[in-house]
Amino acid sequence: MRIAFLGLGIMGKPMAENLVKAGHELSVWNRTPGKKVDGARSAATPKDAAKDVDIVWLCVSDTAAVEQTLFGKDGAIESLKPGAIVVDSSTILPGASAKFAERVRQKGGDFVDAPVTGSKVGAQSAQLIFIVGAKQETFDKLQPLFLAMGKSAVRVGENGKGLAAKLSMNLMIALTFEGFAEALVLAKKQDVDLEPLMSLINQSMVRSGVVDYKAQFVLSRDFSANFPMRLMHKDIHLMLEAARQQGVKLPALETVDRIYEDAKKQGYSEMDYAATLMTLEKLAGVA
């Protein structure tokens, strides 16, 4: 298929590379020039990238970035051909995404929200999971592309529902990690050896995918970004905004948001969200 891939960040670049590996014809664009994908044509603007393609795939930071890339000056919508599908893998507000879907439909295209879970490692190894809001027929059409970049795709419902589900899942990730981090801090403060503690965690019901993935980095004090703290913090704000719109109270997440605020002030924004551990350590005096 002919695909335009817009946004070559931590997630987007390896996703685009995996589409090239699967034999698709790609044009790519990134806001800051210089990021390239071997075997793909580098386009000057989203409009240029989206010309004559069947699929326009986005993976950019936030709601404003999606709006800019699609509908801003030289945006992809300007050259979108009728029948083309726009797939957005950015994590943004579900309500905003549903509005973008409507605008794309008015131009004769189709729209899919397909945020991912799996972080940088999942993107590089084509093991992402796509969480999809789309018409069933469009979802079916995209299967080969989901499987070129990921291990599975689950359709949750119509436009916006993929993002709504993704925010709930990221809420669990944020809270699970903070639970792990607080447990480590309390254990350290009590002089508990972390090796037997980890062995116990891994054998018991507190074991989790989040701990499985994060423990190796945390224990070796590697806080380089797999999923940057600034993006998890952005997602926390999306969750709190979605909750506000729906009249839902999220007290634990509000507390975690305050930890992220402190971590941001301490200069950890570009590190992995696991760096919030260091904020808790400082508070406890165990750093």
Interacting residue ranges for ligand NA7, rule: CB under 6 A: 7-12, 30-32, 59-61, 64-65, 68-69, 90-91, 231, 235
- With contact defined as beta carbons under 8 Å apart, do 235 and 167 qualify? yes
**Residue 170 Cβ vs ligand NA7, minimum distance, rounded to whole Å:** 8
DSSP state of 275: G
Does residue 120 carry a catalytic annotation? no
* Options 141, 166, 188, 264, the catalytic residue: 166
d(CA 102, CA 15): 26
> Among all residues, whose Cβ is closest to ligand NA7?
9
Conformational region of residue 248, where left means phi above 0, alpha means psi within -120 to 50, and beta covers everything else: beta
**Residue 168 Cβ vs ligand NA7, minimum distance, rounded to whole Å:** 15
Looking at the Cβ atoms of 85 and 231, the one nearer to ligand NA7 is 231
Looking at the Cβ atoms of 5 and 139, the one nearer to ligand NA7 is 5
**Residue 178 Cβ vs ligand NA7, minimum distance, rounded to whole Å:** 18
**Residue 276 Cβ vs ligand NA7, minimum distance, rounded to whole Å:** 16
12: its two tokens: 């987007």
> Could you please report the per-residue DSSP string of 128-150?
EEEEEES-HHHHHHHHHHHHHHE
Looking at the Cβ atoms of 231 and 274, the one nearer to ligand NA7 is 231
Beta bridge partners of 154: 131
Looking at the Cβ atoms of 12 and 94, the one nearer to ligand NA7 is 12
d(CA 250, CA 12): 31
**Residue 89 Cβ vs ligand NA7, minimum distance, rounded to whole Å:** 6
Residue 18 DSSP SS3: helix
135: its two tokens: 């018409």
d(CA 66, CA 63): 5
- Give me the count of residues in the chain: 287
Please state the separation of Cα 161 from the chain's center in Å. Answer: 15
Looking at the Cβ atoms of 10 and 175, the one nearer to ligand NA7 is 10
Q: Which residues are catalytic?
A: 166
